[in-house]
C-alpha cells in the first residue's frame, strides 16, 4: 500500500469512526428519551398517590368536623340545609356548602373547616420538569459510556480486502462493454434476419470478445441457463443487483428457460440506468438482446420478456477467468 492509498484508508477510517459515533449518540438520545418518559411517568404516579392519600385524610377530617357540628347544632344545621333547598342531609353534599353552613351558624366562633384540596401541584408541569431532569441525567451517562470498538489496523485490513474484491469484480471497462455489445450486434445483424432467433449467438459473441473463452459455443438458450446454474464460473444474483453490477463492469446475463423447448431466451445486462416498467410494475435493468425481432443494444428487459415470464427470469454474474492472452 502506497502513501496515497494509506491516506485514503485513514480518511475512510475517520469517516467510519465519526459515523459510528454519530449512530451511537443517536441511540443514546433515543434511549434517554425512553428513560426520561418512564421517570416522568413514575414521578406523576407518585405525586398522584400522595395527593390521593392527602385528599382522603382531609376528607375524613372534614367529615368528622361536620359530624360533630351536626350533632351539636342539629336544628340550626337542618334549617340551614332547608334554606338551601336541601331537605335531608346526605353524604354527597359538596364540602363547600357544608363549610358555609358551619360558618353561618357559628359565626366568629368558626375558625374555618379543614381544607379538602389534596397536594395537587399540576401534573403536566411536574411531568415536564421530571422529564427534563431525567433526560439530561440519562443522556450524560449514556454519552459518557459510549465506546467505539473500531481498530484502525482491523479496518485497514478490511479496507484492503474490500478494495481488492472491488477490483476483482470490476472486470471490464465501460468502453470494453460498449464495444463488445456493438460488435456482437453488428455481427448478428449481418448474419441473421431481424425475425430470426439469435439470442444465444449475440450473447456468445459478446462474451467471447470480453473473456476470450469459447465454453459457451454451440449452446442454445435453455442450455446456457443450465450451464450458468451448474458452473462455478457463474453466480446467481437478484434482479435488483444486476444493473449496479453491470455498471461496475461485471458481465451479467439473464435467461429464462422454456419447458419442452430448446428455445428459451437469454440476454446480457448492459450499463445504464434502471427504468420503470409498467408491465412488470417495477424498475428493471437494461438488456442487450438479439432474439427474434429483438435486435437492440440496450432496452428495458421488459421488452425481452412479458410480465407473464418475469418470475422465470434468472440473473447471473460471471466470476470466471477474464484475462485474454495475446
Which string of DSSP letters, residue by residue, matches 277-295? ETTTTEEE-EEEEEETTEE
At 265-313, the pLDDT tens digits run: 999 999 999 999 999 999 999 999 999 999 999 999 999 999 999 999 9
Domains of the chain: which residue ranges? 3-144, 173-318
User: Mean pLDDT across the chain, nearest whole number?
Assistant: 87
What is the pLDDT, as a whole number, of residue 167? 44
| Cell numbers 455481427: residue | 187
Rounded Cα–Cα distance for residues 306 and 286 (Å): 14
Q: Which residues in the chain land under pLDDT 70?
A: 1-2, 87-91, 116-121, 155, 158-170, 261-262, 325-326
What is the pLDDT, as a whole number, of residue 255? 96
Does 3.90.1720.10 match the CATH number of domain 173-318?
yes
pTM > 0.75: no
Which string of DSSP letters, residue by residue, matches 223-249? HHHHHHHH-TTEEEE-HHHHHHHHHTT
What is the pLDDT, as a whole number, of residue 165? 46
What is the pLDDT, as a whole number, of residue 229? 97
Rounded Cα–Cα distance for residues 102 and 94 (Å): 13
Cα dihedral 168, 173, 174, 176 in deg (nearest 10): -120
What is the pLDDT, as a whole number, of residue 20? 83
What is the pLDDT, as a whole number, of residue 1? 56
Rounded Cα–Cα distance for residues 260 and 274 (Å): 32
Amino acid at each position: 500500500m502506497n502513501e496515497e492509498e494509506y491516506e485514503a484508508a485513514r480518511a475512510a477510517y475517520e469517516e467510519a469512526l465519526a459515523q459510528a459515533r454519530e449512530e451511537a449518540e443517536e441511540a443514546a438520545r433515543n434511549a434517554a428519551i425512553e428513560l426520561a418518559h418512564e421517570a416522568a411517568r413514575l414521578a406523576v404516579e407518585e405525586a398522584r398517590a400522595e395527593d390521593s392519600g392527602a385528599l382522603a385524610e382531609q376528607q375524613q377530617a372534614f367529615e368528622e368536623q361536620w359530624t360533630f357540628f351536626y350533632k351539636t347544632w342539629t336544628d340550626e344545621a337542618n334549617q340551614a340545609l332547608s334554606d338551601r333547598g336541601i331537605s335531608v342531609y346526605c353524604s354527597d353534599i359538596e364540602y363547600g356548602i357544608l363549610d358555609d353552613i358551619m360558618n353561618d351558624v357559628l359565626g366568629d366562633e368558626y375558625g374555618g373547616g379543614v381544607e379538602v384540596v389534596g397536594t395537587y401541584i399540576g401534573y403536566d408541569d411536574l411531568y415536564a420538569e421530571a422529564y427534563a431532569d431525567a433526560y439530561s441525567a440519562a443522556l450524560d451517562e449514556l454519552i459518557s459510556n459510549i465506546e467505539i470498538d473500531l481498530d484502525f489496523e482491523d479496518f485497514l485490513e478490511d479496507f484492503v480486502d474490500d478494495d481488492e474484491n472491488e477490483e476483482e469484480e470490476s472486470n471490464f471497462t465501460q468502453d470494453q462493454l460498449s464495444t463488445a455489445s456493438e460488435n456482437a450486434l453488428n455481427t448478428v445483424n449481418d448474419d441473421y434476419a431481424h425475425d430470426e432467433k439469435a439470442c444465444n449467438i449475440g450473447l456468445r459473441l459478446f462474451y467471447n470478445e470480453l473473456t476470450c473463452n469459447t465454453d459457451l459455443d454451440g449452446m442454445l438458450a435453455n442450455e446456457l441457463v443450465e450451464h450458468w446454474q451448474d458452473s462455478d464460473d457463474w453466480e446467481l444474483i437478484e434482479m435488483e443487483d444486476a444493473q449496479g453490477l453491470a455498471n461496475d463492469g461485471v458481465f451479467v446475463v439473464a435467461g429464462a428457460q422454456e419447458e419442452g423447448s430448446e428455445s428459451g431466451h437469454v440476454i446480457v445486462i448492459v450499463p445504464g440506468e434502471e427504468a420503470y416498467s409498467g408491465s412488470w410494475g417495477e424498475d428493471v435493468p437494461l438488456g442487450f438482446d438479439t432474439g427474434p425481432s429483438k435486435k437492440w443494444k440496450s432496452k428495458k428487459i421488459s421488452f425481452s420478456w412479458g410480465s407473464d415470464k418475469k418470475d422465470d427470469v434468472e440473473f447471473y454474474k460471471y466470476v470466471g477467468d477474464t484475462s485474454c492472452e495475446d
